[in-house]
A and B are shown apart, each in its own frame.
Chain A
Amino acid sequence: MNSSSAQIEAQAAQWLARRDSGQLTATETAELAAWLDASTANRVAFIRLESAWRQADRLKVLGAGLKPGELPSPGEWRHSPYFATRQDELPATTTPPAQQASRRPSLRAITAVAASLVLAIVGVMAMLHWSRGSTYETDIGVASSIPMPDGSKVTLNTDSKIRVAVTDTERRVELEQGEAFFEVFKDEQRPFVVVSGSLRVVAVGTKFAVRLDADQVRVLVSEGRVRIEKQEGDQKVPLAQIASGGIGYTRGGEGVLTQTQPVERVEEALSWRTGFVVFHETPLIEAVQELNRYNTRRIVIEDPSIADTRISGNFRAANGDAFARLLEDGFDIRAEFSDARIVLRAK
């Protein structure tokens, strides 16, 4: 009879702890390998614990602000600069936090880790003040999902910023920077409007993304239909309708260029929601520009001869390193890594 899953997990934990001691003998190493090969149940149990143990390396940030070797009592580490408040561990159902806290904190001023933690807190707190208008923003390399009280969902891409206001007549999101994907809950009484300058993208129940690049606005529709309008004084002038699979481009609302793609292509262009970017025969220079949206360490092409190299594949958006290494493997391209940037040259 097979041993129970709990027994297997206990054995996997023993092996992991033994290996973690750094003192596995050659015999033990072979025994571990044999144990892993003996059954898939053993292997998956080990992968699971190993993954958790490795991720626990992130706990290092808790030690910030404490003396080495010091053992704080439970809760004490939260005084470290990485945990400026205790709100992060409170579920949203507890007492509403002070209203001022829901306003934008100066995110750029603090470290990346702290920033993402604070962002999570702001997310929870801002929800409580939704109707009064709230701002959400993400740092470079971070995407964040925000549920809206009307049942819609907004996913913010890297380095993006929106302001949200829900009233009885309109659900309004102002895209101030970057890109956001909207899954709109159908509500005929309250159109869902994404505003960028004088441009309005109006949806009823649909899924679409709006991306702002300098003065270019791009609208990708993966489901349903949206209308693009221009606000001129009190008038709302309709410019274009875009159906699923459509991509609309405009600068300042002086006409909209539309393109129809298979819906799968539009979905691919939205792969950032799961952390990936997808390229199909994309010139390297464009791929690099895209990657650079997600990475603080810029990738730079120093050699014009490689700029037009065509790239295809899925890549982790916020991992410029891996992208550069894969380029080295697949093309005659050499990457030089420094703290501030990754330089690409022909081999």
Chain B
Amino acid sequence: MDFRNDWRYEGRMAESLDAWFAREILPLEAALLRYLARTWLRRDEIHDLRQEIYVRVYEAAAKSRPLSPKSFVFTTARNLMTDRIRRGRVVSIEATADLEALNVLVDEISPEHRASARQELSRLAHAMDRLPPQCRNVVWLRKVEGMPQRQVAERLGISEGAVEKQITKGVRLLARALFGDKASERGADAPLQVQDDEYEQQQRSD
């Protein structure tokens, strides 16, 4: 852990809920996704589950912050999956058969509390090189060079709207690389892609 250049710098006393969420919950995402991938066989629902877990955790924390964010996140995950199975929204035999797996020890799955800042930097840097070329150029100029979007547009000879679009894409890919589970991706060197199409298709087929 390297706390020196950490934007999360804040005494615990006066911390907003949003900052708390970013500091305590987001670093657990990789472990959470591994847990979900192990226990929930319908891969296409994992993004959705993750989101719903975040919603529940955020709303509960608005009332009172859990003392142990990690066990709270995993308990929420387990409850959510159990609820879904009980409500019969999932009829998949595989999913119910794996109900036992919901009780695996959390510590077994997430031995590390959070990635160190250097691991995060290394992940970001690596993710940077796997962005689609134009997206990478835009993110590079915006983040490494610190150019405003307008200037990025001039430098690359594209419209400001196009820059904004690339950032829309880039931020999602960087978030996934930073918080998400590296190991579960198709290959550590595979180019990153936004998977809207997949999700939309699933939506339609549901």
Interfacial residues, chain A to chain B (CB-CB below 8 A): 4-10, 13-14, 16-18, 20-23, 39-41, 43-45, 47-63, 68-69, 71-72, 74-75, 77, 83, 88-89, 91, 112-113, 116-117, 119-120, 141-145, 273-276, 294-295, 313-319, 321-323, 325-326, 329
- Which chain A positions have C-beta within 8 A of B105? none
Please determine whether A75 and B22 come into contact, CB atoms closer than 8 angstroms: no
- Which one of B2, B142, B155, B199 has the highest number of Cβ atoms from chain A below 10 Å of its Cβ? B2
- CB contact between A116 and one of B116, B125, B137 (< 8 Å): that residue: B116
Distance of A283 Cα from B49 Cα, bound (Å): 47
- CB contact between B22 and one of A51, A77, A117, A273 (< 8 Å): that residue: A51
- Nearest 8 A/B pairs, CB to CB: A318-B3, A52-B175, A6-B199, A5-B51, A17-B167, A74-B129, A116-B118, A51-B22
Please determine whether A313 and B11 come into contact, CB atoms closer than 8 angstroms: yes
- Which chain A positions have C-beta within 8 A of B205? none
- Chain B 144-174 interface 0/1 with A at a Cβ cutoff of 8 Å (1 = within): 1110111000010000100111011101101
Distance of A319 Cα from B9 Cα, bound (Å): 6
Give me 7 A-to-B residue pairs in the complex whose CB atoms sit less than 8 angstroms apart, sorted by A's number.
A43-B18, A48-B22, A58-B5, A59-B121, A274-B1, A315-B12, A322-B11
Please determine whether B51 and A60 come into contact, CB atoms closer than 8 angstroms: no
Closest B-chain residue to A71, C-beta based?
B137
Interfacial residues, chain B to chain A (CB-CB below 8 A): 1-14, 18, 21-22, 26, 47-48, 50-52, 54-55, 58-59, 112-113, 116-122, 124-126, 128-130, 136-137, 139-146, 148-150, 155, 160, 163-165, 167-169, 171-172, 174-175, 178-179, 188, 194-196, 199-200, 203
- CB contact between B164 and one of A18, A39, A54 (< 8 Å): that residue: A18
Please determine whether B22 and A47 come into contact, CB atoms closer than 8 angstroms: yes
- Which chain A positions have C-beta within 8 A of B128? 59, 62
Distance of A63 Cα from B200 Cα, bound (Å): 37
- CB contact between B143 and one of A21, A59, A329 (< 8 Å): that residue: A59
Distance of A55 Cα from B21 Cα, bound (Å): 15
Q: How far is the CB of B195 from chain A (nearest CB, A)?
A: 7
- Which chain A positions have C-beta within 8 A of B179? 48, 52
Please determine whether B116 and A144 come into contact, CB atoms closer than 8 angstroms: yes
Closest A-chain residue to B136, C-beta based?
A74
- Which chain B positions have C-beta within 8 A of A322? 9-11
Please determine whether A4 and B199 come into contact, CB atoms closer than 8 angstroms: yes
Closest B-chain residue to A114, C-beta based?
B118
Please determine whether B171 and A13 come into contact, CB atoms closer than 8 angstroms: yes
Distance of A119 Cα from B117 Cα, bound (Å): 12
Distance of A145 Cα from B116 Cα, bound (Å): 9
Distance of A295 Cα from B146 Cα, bound (Å): 27
Q: How far is the CB of B196 from chain A (nearest CB, A)?
A: 6
State whether A20 and B172 are in contact (beta carbons under 8 Å apart), knowing that A56-B143, A275-B1, A323-B11 are contacts in the complex: no
Distance of A285 Cα from B160 Cα, bound (Å): 54
- CB contact between A49 and one of B141, B155, B175 (< 8 Å): that residue: B175
- CB contact between B126 and one of A21, A89, A316, A319 (< 8 Å): that residue: A89
Please determine whether A17 and B9 come into contact, CB atoms closer than 8 angstroms: no
State whether A313 and B12 are in contact (beta carbons under 8 Å apart), knowing that A5-B48, A6-B200, A52-B175 are contacts in the complex: yes
Distance of A21 Cα from B148 Cα, bound (Å): 7
A sample of 11 more A-B contacts (CB under 8 A), given A58-B121, A60-B143, is A5-B47, A9-B51, A13-B169, A16-B167, A20-B149, A41-B55, A45-B51, A62-B144, A112-B2, A117-B122, A273-B113
